[in-house]
Amino acid sequence: MALLSFLDREHSIARPDYNRWLFPPAALAVHMCIGQAYGLSVFNIPLSKLLPVVEGQPNDNWPLTTTVWIFNIAFFVLGLSAAFFGKWVEKNGPRKTMFTSACFFATGFMISALGVHLHNIWLLYLGYGVFGGIALGLGYISPVSTLIKWFPDRPGMATGMAIMGFGGGAMIGSPLASNLMDYFGNKVQSAGVVMTLVTMGALYFCMMMFGVFAARVPAPDWKPEGWTPPAAGTNKMMTSANVDADTAIKTPQFWLLWAILCLNVTAGIGVLSQASPMIQEMFSEASKGVGKGITPAAAAGFVGLLSLFNLVGRFFWSSFSDYTGRKVIYMIYLGLGTLLYALIPTAGQMGNAGVFVGIFCIILSMYGAGFATIPAYLRDMFGTMQVGAIHGRLLTAWSTAAIVGPTLLTELRESQIASGKAAGLSDSLAKASAYNTTMYIMASLLVVGFICNLMVKPVDEKFHFKG
Amino acid sequence: MENKQNPSIALILSWVMVGIPLVWGITQTFYKALALFK
């Protein structure tokens, strides 16, 4: 066990000559790996074709409704593990947490590979769902608190950089998995998926271990060169006090931020999960004319473009929040977001795909930014002492939204199509207009979020940690 | 305790280590996104 003592917080305190810009790559390495979860859908089709289909015999392959639960379980467990292990993360520091996350993530891939080999879906639920989910939760919050301590002068930029990595994870994970499945699976499809999962588990473990070795925590009295902490009371929306995690969840500020994150993510994730069919149905040839419709390839390009804006927005807007303050930036995310969601039906009716795409790009940039800026907002409200643990508990809002968002959008779409057909619209026109009401509902969710943000005030002194 | 801000090989290597896969992933997505404008 002495061998593993280098993982302890006390053994990872930086020497005076450590450059603080070495920590963001360590954080990025972990977030880029666990962000692969966003690209899990690349396995959907291969997992549904593992067994040969013989005519006249039952097809025992897994349908999408079965495999989608791997993703759902992983994100549900992410929220739980971030909430339950937050204080453990604060106590043990980023290095031990990253190491634990790497072990769980790699083990999750290996168990999943075994599940594919044996064609046992429960092993995939256990592997990627439970083990992977724990890794996601631990890995996601592992660098947050330390980043804020290394960059007290620019906390928004620092956390934006790491959480940008999570957005980039899918961009790496999806093409990597596709290429590996092509490479390994040219003869037997299941062997291709098994070897892809094993290889990815090994590669991600190595990358995360880079983060483990590079991670350092600042000494307690460390501060950036030339920076002096703002005097207490100069900015009421940025506390110099601390609130511990157990007390933080008793404050209205925590639940207001929980609601803001949940509503922002519900709106964004709902759109992101339906982006491809939505643009094809709103700009179909039947509704816009022959040759003017959006093709499936162009729709895939639209999804890719949204992912890029989701990534860039995390860094851009979160860095910008260091200058505007967190309350103002969330007023922009939620206020401008409301306006843009409300404009989507008009853009669709105008038939201007460029305006439509542009609106969605800005919306998705602010969706990603909502994730990236929230740790800095928590730091402003509750101080740095247990910001990682508080962030972990707040991530239950994400798990909630990950289930509510896509379900809400799908249900609304189905009911709108049904009422459109009942009103005498053709199938394609009913589909094209189905999203209009949905967009107004998404806009109203952001209005509620905007009001919650307006209600955020500094935490009452009675909650401050007295030590 | 102050922080030394001089660039070092370790710093460059660290950023290259995470930069290469990130740029590769972004490039792949960018090419996919180009289909929208064809």
Contact (Cβ atoms closer than 8 angstroms) between residue A367 and residue A275: no
Q: Which pLDDT tens digit goes with each residue over A382-426? A: 999 999 999 999 999 998 888 787 777 778 778 888 888 888 887
Chain B environment of A165 (Cβ under 8 Å): 18, 22
Contact (Cβ atoms closer than 8 angstroms) between residue A162 and residue A24: yes
Nearest beta carbon to residue A19 from set B5, B32, B38:
B5
Token pair of A228 as six digits: 């002096």
Token pair of A215 as six digits: 């991670």
Chain B environment of A170 (Cβ under 8 Å): 25
DSSP-assigned beta bridge partners for residue A13: A217
Contact (Cβ atoms closer than 8 angstroms) between residue A311 and residue A372: no
Contact (Cβ atoms closer than 8 angstroms) between residue A135 and residue A111: no
Q: Which pLDDT tens digit goes with each residue over A26-57? A: 999 999 999 999 888 888 888 888 888 788 88
Which residue, A326, A318, A392, is CA-closest to A138?
Answer: A392
The C-alpha atoms of residue A270 and residue A274 are separated, in whole angstroms, by 7
Query: Percent of chain A beyond pLDDT 90?
Result: 56
A456 vs A400, more confident: A456
Mean pLDDT of A82-101: 94
Could you tell me if B18 lies within 8 Å of chain A, comparing CB atoms? yes
Contact (Cβ atoms closer than 8 angstroms) between residue A177 and residue A128: no
**Predicted structure pTM score:** 0.89
pLDDT at residue number A445:
93
- Its sign, for the CA torsion A231, A235, A241, A244, is negative
Nearest-5° Cα angle at A71, B28 to A369:
60
Question: At CB < 8 Å, which residues of chain A contact B?
Answer: 16-22, 25-26, 28-29, 32, 165, 168-175, 207, 210, 214, 219, 221-225, 297-305, 307-308, 311, 357
The C-alpha atoms of residue A124 and residue A133 are separated, in whole angstroms, by 12
The C-alpha atoms of residue A374 and residue A394 are separated, in whole angstroms, by 9
End-to-end CA distance of chain A: 32
End-to-end CA distance of chain B: 56
